[in-house]
Amino acid sequence: MAKLTLNVDAKVAAQAKRYAAHHDTSVSQMVERYLGLVGAPVTSREDDPPVLRMLRGAAKGVSHDEYGRHLRRKYR
């Protein structure tokens, strides 16, 4: 198993931990499931969870160059 370090806002991390505890899972398992869904081949988008459909469409019409400029400005 690979180790992955994420930087997340403290409030978001606390919410994720509460959600995980309430749903008898861990934050690591939640992130692993999410990343597995994002990287999975697209078979039928209609079967995707609503949050995944929303995230896949979040950058429509944005070029790679434009996104790169955004990231450079954001992380200066």
Question: What is the per-residue pLDDT across 17-43, written as a single tens digit (0 to 9) for each?
Answer: 999 999 999 999 999 988 888 877 766
Kindly report the pTM of this predicted structure: 0.53
Q: Is the pLDDT of residue 44 over 70?
A: no
pLDDT given for residue 41 in this prediction: 73
Residue 67: which residues within 8 A CB-CB, separation 6 or more? 59
In angstroms, what CA-CA distances link 76 with 18, 63, 68? 32, 20, 12
